[in-house]
Structure 1
Amino acid sequence: MATATARQRPATARAVADGLKLHRRVLRLAGREYTVIGLRPGTAVRFSTNHFHETWHILSDQRGARLLARLMWGLSYQARPRTLLLVDRPFLVPTPFEADPPDPFVIVPGWHTALDGRAARALAARLPLRSAPDGTVRWRTHGLDAARADERPFWERYPDHRVPDRGQVTRLPGGLIAFVPRSPDELRYWAESVDSLRVTGTFDMDYRYIGPWDHGHSGEVQIFRTFHRDVGIARRARADVLARPHAPADPTGLRVRIWRQCGAIKRGRNMKIANCRNLGPRSAEQLALVGIDTLDDLAARGAVQAYLDLRDAGVPGLTRTMLWAMEGAITGTDWRALPPGRRQELLSELERAERDPRRR
């Protein structure tokens, strides 16, 4: 059987603009044909899902939210019955909290498409979809950019429609999480809400509820500035906990242990340089040249001494930004938010170290 293995060009893989290319498959599920729209291999976005406080969550970063909003907006104009959007592996990663496995999710336009239990089980049984697609579609999202720029509330821009709130988020047989809006307006409202998510300044997280209030919301989309880093930390923490003797067998006890281990890792115990705030793989390679492999190593050396060691090692392209980045990694601060007073202290310390005759 042919498989969908073709990869996108890097620029295309990261695109979240109007006209996004998606794959289309026609699948026969429980005796009926469905058109299933999905992301193309290589698309540079990842999501996770979980169920917490009686609410189903989609988790991602800001790029993920922008892409999800495009998917929702385009689907709101889809007139063909039995058409749905599917996100499954490889675009799903474990949760950023305890690395629990995610469930695939579908967006089902409930005003003309029904995905009953039999069809949901049939679809879940075929995941992940590896067969070649039946075609590629250009996902048009005309109007979303204008809606983003319009600061008026939804009910002022659409006076004939109150804010729609009849849709639901639920888990279907087979393990699919289904986001089911009941009208095109409602799905566009969801899209605008998701598109407005931002992680800016000191706010590392943002969220929007999906669906009506009934002693809680059935759905939520939540984004994190450090989503990918947190997923990596959670994976490592889970592996650490499960490798220990007498790891908890009950899910609640296991999660608590993993959360604690995540906290320990985030506080810097043996955190690899590539996972540190402000730093990355390139910084990790440079610091490894001077014997610094973990955040503990960097903290023990100090930002100024590490900077001098990098300079003495002849690391090319070294600038003061690296000094701010290392200090921020040690203190858990974004390098751009490092106070001017602290920057001046670091420069003074650097000048004193340079004048030290023992360095000559």
Structure 2
Amino acid sequence: MPTRKHPRPSTAREAGDRLKLHRHDLRDYQVITLRPGTRARFSTNHHHETWHVLSDPHGALLLGRLLWGLSYQRRPGTLVVIDRRFIDPNPFDAEPGDPVALVPADLTHLPARTARHLARRCAAPGPPSGTVRWHTWGLDQAVRERRAWLADQSWHPPGDDYRRADVAQLGGLVRVQATSSLLRSWAVSVVVMADYAYDGMSYTGLAGSDGNLCRAEGEVQTFTDYRRRVSVAKVSREEVLATAPPSTSPADLRPLIWDQNDTVRSRRDDHRRGAGRSGPSRRRGISPG
């Protein structure tokens, strides 16, 4: 009798090489999306004239894999879309985030009209045309080399092609677009930035070093407590909207919600400490420890 094999863990929850992703064939485009069950979550916001892609360290690792694998695609019209199933309200004031489109500039042209069509489809993608394995060979080695260079300047990164790089909102999507070499450079930066987190936050710019060649104004920012921040911001927004006049503008609402975030966090922390003090051992008259 054959031995029963243990089920393999779902690759939808991983962020390593050979990810399983879905492929959607839409006219002249091959759209790659995450599979249902993927754990990572993202959001976006526009602040200080910069579009931010927001997540936690796990999401950043997945994003790095997506950028790296995309840089090696050869089929024209290929792009990756992080659709609304994986987009949270942003973790600052809970305004809705936008889907994210990762575009290889030397392979795919994404005009505004097509972006609007994709944004509508992103609300609920239909059945996929197939499943693909997302190869990211070479990323781990590139990360090791970048870390060595950052540590002692012993390695010199190759020059990047900044032409057609751009990070902007287009037709309801945040389009992250770059040439293949720059997509790979961004992928490594996104993975490595976790090494330099400060107080649970890390970031890296999605831009080139030559302002004359690169119009990109983007940034990836992560928080170790990203999900908690999203949860707090959603509660804060609800509480502020419950008392604010209907005519209050979004620009006036944001600072009110930012202030309320502190109140909501403090209230949750107090509740957590109170729950700890009134645990079973205290009720039985037994002192902790």
TM-score (norm 2): 0.86
Of residues 265, 273, 294, the one that matches 2:271 is 294
Corresponding residue number in structure 2 for 1:178: 175
Corresponding residue number in structure 2 for 1:347: none
Corresponding residue number in structure 1 for 2:227: 228
1:184-203 alignment to 2 at 5 Å? 184-198=180-194, 203=199
Q: Work out whether residues 197 and 223 of structure 1, in 8 Å CA contact, stay in contact via their aligned partners in 2.
A: no
* Offset of residue 171 of structure 1: 1.5
Structure 2 unaligned spans of 5+: 1-7
Cα separation, 2, equivalents of 1:95 and 1:52: 12
Deviation per residue, 1:123-144 (Å, 9 max, x gap) = 2232224311000000000011
Question: What letter corresponds to residue 89 of structure 2 in structure 1?
Answer: P
Q: Work out whether residues 83 and 123 of structure 2, in 8 Å CA contact, stay in contact via their aligned partners in 1.
A: yes
Please say if 1:205 is aligned against 2:201.
Answer: yes
> SS state of the match for residue 188, structure 2?
helix
> SS state of the match for residue 56, structure 1?
strand
Question: What letter corresponds to residue 212 of structure 1 in structure 2?
Answer: G
1:93-172 alignment to 2 at 5 Å? 93-150=88-145, 151-153=147-149, 161-166=158-163, 167-172=165-170
Cα separation, 1, equivalents of 2:109 and 2:131: 23
> SS state of the match for residue 180, structure 1?
strand
- Specify whether residues 354 and 204 from structure 1 end up closer, same or farther in structure 2 by C-alpha distance, changes over 3 A only: closer
Q: Work out whether residues 91 and 226 of structure 2, in 8 Å CA contact, stay in contact via their aligned partners in 1.
A: yes
Question: What letter corresponds to residue 80 of structure 2 in structure 1?
Answer: L
* Offset of residue 153 of structure 1: 3.7
* Offset of residue 197 of structure 1: 2.2
> SS state of the match for residue 21, structure 2?
strand
- Specify whether residues 18 and 264 from structure 1 end up closer, same or farther in structure 2 by C-alpha distance, changes over 3 A only: same
* Offset of residue 146 of structure 1: 1.4
Cα separation, 1, equivalents of 2:111 and 2:198: 43
Question: What letter corresponds to residue 169 of structure 1 in structure 2?
Answer: V
> SS state of the match for residue 58, structure 1?
strand
> SS state of the match for residue 84, structure 2?
coil
Q: After superposing the two structures, state which structure 1 stretch, 74-83 or 202-211, moved more.
A: 202-211
Corresponding residue number in structure 2 for 1:14: 13
Count of residues paired in the alignment: 275
Q: Work out whether residues 199 and 205 of structure 1, in 8 Å CA contact, stay in contact via their aligned partners in 2.
A: no
Cα separation, 2, equivalents of 1:20 and 1:68: 12
1:224-263 alignment to 2 at 5 Å? 224-246=223-245, 249-263=248-262
Provide the aligned C-alpha RMSD in A: 2.9
Question: What letter corresponds to residue 59 of structure 1 in structure 2?
Answer: L
- Specify whether residues 102 and 354 from structure 1 end up closer, same or farther in structure 2 by C-alpha distance, changes over 3 A only: closer
> SS state of the match for residue 108, structure 1?
strand
Q: Work out whether residues 167 and 174 of structure 2, in 8 Å CA contact, stay in contact via their aligned partners in 1.
A: yes
Corresponding residue number in structure 2 for 1:69: 64
Corresponding residue number in structure 1 for 2:4: none
Q: Work out whether residues 27 and 34 of structure 1, in 8 Å CA contact, stay in contact via their aligned partners in 2.
A: yes
TM-score (norm 1): 0.70
Question: What letter corresponds to residue 249 of structure 1 in structure 2?
Answer: T
Corresponding residue number in structure 2 for 1:44: 39
- Specify whether residues 201 and 236 from structure 1 end up closer, same or farther in structure 2 by C-alpha distance, changes over 3 A only: same
**Sequence identity, in percent?**
43
- Specify whether residues 97 and 201 from structure 1 end up closer, same or farther in structure 2 by C-alpha distance, changes over 3 A only: closer
Cα separation, 1, equivalents of 2:224 and 2:32: 28
The structure number with the bigger radius of gyration is 1
Cα separation, 1, equivalents of 2:121 and 2:13: 27
> SS state of the match for residue 29, structure 2?
strand
The structure whose RCO (Cα within 8 Å, separation 6+) is larger is 2
Structure 1 unaligned spans of 5+: 1-8, 277-292, 315-349, 356-360
Cα separation, 2, equivalents of 1:116 and 1:135: 25
> SS state of the match for residue 207, structure 2?
strand
Q: Work out whether residues 164 and 189 of structure 1, in 8 Å CA contact, stay in contact via their aligned partners in 2.
A: no
Corresponding residue number in structure 2 for 1:326: none
Q: Work out whether residues 64 and 191 of structure 2, in 8 Å CA contact, stay in contact via their aligned partners in 1.
A: yes
Of residues 78, 96, 99, the one that matches 1:83 is 78
* Offset of residue 13 of structure 1: 3.3
Corresponding residue number in structure 2 for 1:342: none
* Offset of residue 312 of structure 1: 5.5
